Amino acid sequence: MKIYGIKNCDTMKKALKWLDAQAAAYEFHDYKKAGLSSELADTFLANIEIEQLINKRGTTYRALDEDTKAKISALDKSVAKQVMLDNPSIIKRPVLEHNGQYLLGFKAEQYQEFV
């Protein structure tokens, strides 16, 4: 199991705390330290809908120009990928991957069923 995000994000902290309390084995990928590779961005885009993957509530998204926002809303994967590579903090956190399945955000009930 692998979890992706930014360590100082409050939602990430809750998810990691929950996983630790369950004694779940996981690997943490911190975008700030390890970055986001082109391959990982492609994997996310192949397995997660853009509308779910891009955090439209965050300051990173709000700072984008209107043309870029429109292309993301039109599900332009190449634009979404470039924005993710330039600003990994635009990816909704956390992304939990387990057995080829992906879960976004953190809700204990969902994690209980997923893990």
Q: Which residues are catalytic?
A: 9
Expressed in angstroms, the distance from the first to the final Cα of the chain is 8
Residue holding tokens 């870029």? 68
Query: How do the residues of the chain divide into helix, strand and coil, expressed in percent and rounded to 5?
Result: 55, 15, 30
SS3 74: coil
Amino acid at 59: T
